[in-house]
């Protein structure tokens, strides 16, 4: 009788630990990834011609055309270096007006 109640108690504690582990994984792994994905999708939706972008390979350029899942980015001051890229290759977007406001606040 005593052994049966001890076995039931240990199974409940096991269930509680599994639930705690799942909650821990959700808040420390799944939820931050969902937030990051949402942020990236919002960034891609706000992309416009003339924005300065940083690619995943570390190059800065300016968007000159946008198609469905491809953008044409112009690199450097030499206006002949235009490369089509997938939108997934863009790591950051900087709007032209945010660059001018940052420069004016530095003065």
Is the pTM for the entire model greater than 0.75? no
Q: State which of 3-7, 9-13, 63-67, 77-81 shows the largest mean pLDDT.
A: 63-67
Q: What percent of the chain has pLDDT over 70?
A: 82
- Give the model confidence (pLDDT) of 26-70 as tens digits: 989 999 999 999 999 999 888 999 999 999 999 999 999 999 889
Q: What is the 3-state secondary structure (H, E, C) of 48-91?
A: CCCCEEEECCCCEEEEEEECCCEEEEEECCCCCCEEEEEHHHEE
pLDDT of residue 80: 83
Residue 72 above 60 pLDDT? yes
pLDDT band at 7 (very low <50, low <70, confident <90, very high): low
């Amino acid at each position: 009788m005593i052994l049966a109640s001890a076995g039931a108690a240990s199974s409940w504690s096991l269930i509680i630990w599994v639930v705690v582990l799942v909650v821990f994984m959700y808040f420390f792994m799944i939820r931050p990834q969902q937030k990051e994905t949402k942020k990236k999708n919002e960034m891609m939706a706000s992309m416009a011609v003339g924005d300065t972008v940083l690619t995943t390979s570390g190059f800065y350029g300016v968007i000159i055309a946008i198609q469905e899942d491809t953008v044409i980015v112009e690199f450097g001051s030499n206006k002949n270096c235009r490369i089509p890229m997938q939108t997934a290759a863009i790591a950051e977007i900087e709007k032209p007006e945010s660059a001018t406001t940052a420069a004016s606040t530095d003065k």
